Amino acid sequence: YEAKESRSSVVVYKADMETAYLRRLTVEQRLRYGLATDALYMVYQPQVNQAGTIVGLEALVRWQDEELGSVSPSEFVDVAEKSGLMIPLGAFVLDTSLKEFRELSAALNTPLDLAINISVIQFCQPGFVDAVLAALRKHDVPPPVLVLEITETLFMGNFERALKTICDLRKHGIRLAMDDFGTGYSSLSLLRQLPLDELKIDKSFIDGLVDDERAANMVRSIVAIAESHNMSLIAEGVEEQKQVDALTTMGCGRFQGYFFSRPLPMADLKKQLIGSARQPDAPATIRRS
């Protein structure tokens, strides 16, 4: 390490870049293999209302590789987006989530929403809307159940095109949510031009909610934006009762986070939900983990 310290910082930086580059190549190679060999699977995180009743699920992809171990979706989704693997990965996510969701909803008497994250690469692919509609038909899931989560990066590309896709999806009753809201690039004027159904308040604001007045003010502003644009709201990354209380006071009544439940494989979720709704017509509630 002495030798390394005596090197110029440029050299060290270059070494870091090489390491990052090699990691990316390995992840890409292993992901290609993983997609072909069923190494990916989905987990689902409950979304709840003020009564703790589950009202929806967010599908989140997972990957357990033989050599790399478990790789975070933040890392491999990024690699997929840069390597042409996002299209097969996105197709896997859509098909698997709808299939597993259909099996769950057949066993429940509570209607639930299903939220699926969509990469900008998928969203801008010609034929995306038809592919979504075909997947819904294949698994017999009605379009109004589906919420597609997009991020603000979508509008850094072709805004008109993105807008048209959003309108096409909504014409079929599919809803759109803006994920990680408040962290990205979207301005208020941009939001005014967009027919979106839901804002997801980013975890970074929820983290600071109780102690940081600026985070709390940001959440108040987001609540006001949602109200004035007729959008529904959900807070993500809720970890404490105090945050639930503060959000409720501020006017956000839907939550997602470890306080209610971690993301779970469908089989586990099914057991928990069917167990909690044993009385006929009782809504499924989430046991806090």
Rank residues 257 and 283 by Cβ distance to ligand C2E and give the closer one: 257
List interacting residues with Mg ion (CB under 5 A): 117, 149, 179-180, 236
- In angstroms, rounded to a whole number, what is the distance separating the alpha carbons of residues 169 and 187? 23
Calculate the CA 264 to chain-centre distance. Answer: 14
Answer whether 116's CB lies under 8 Å from 146's CB: yes
Smallest separation (angstroms) from ligand C2E to the CB of 61: 4
Answer whether 162's CB lies under 8 Å from 122's CB: no
Q: What values do phi and psi take at 154, rounded to 5?
A: -55, -35
Residue 218's closest CA among 201, 233, 241? 201
- In angstroms, rounded to a whole number, what is the distance separating the alpha carbons of residues 171 and 133? 12
**Is residue 117 at the binding interface for ligand C2E, with CB under 6 A as the rule?**
yes
Query: What mask of x and - would describe binding to ligand C2E in positions 227 to 256, judged by CB under 6 A?
Result: ---------xxxx-----------------
**Residue 35's binding partner out of ligand C2E, Mg ion, none, with CB under 5 to 8 Å set by partner kind:** none
Among 40, 48, 54, 77, binds ligand C2E (CB under 6 A): 77
Of 178-197, binders to ligand C2E (CB under 6 A) are: 179-180
- In angstroms, rounded to a whole number, what is the distance separating the alpha carbons of residues 147 and 178? 10
Rank residues 61 and 277 by Cβ distance to ligand C2E and give the closer one: 61
Distances in whole angstroms, Cα of residue 84 to Cα of each of 23, 32, 134, 275: 17, 10, 22, 42
Among 39, 60, 68, 246, binds ligand C2E (CB under 6 A): 60
Among 93, 112, 146, 177, binds ligand C2E (CB under 6 A): 93
Rank residues 14 and 288 by Cβ distance to ligand C2E and give the closer one: 288
Rank residues 105 and 117 by Cβ distance to Mg ion and give the closer one: 117
CA-based torsion, 181, 187, 190, 195: positive or negative: positive
The number of residues that bind ligand C2E (CB under 6 A) is 22
Q: Which residues bind ligand C2E (CB under 6 A)?
A: 45, 59-61, 72-74, 77, 93, 117-119, 149, 179-180, 236-239, 257-258, 263
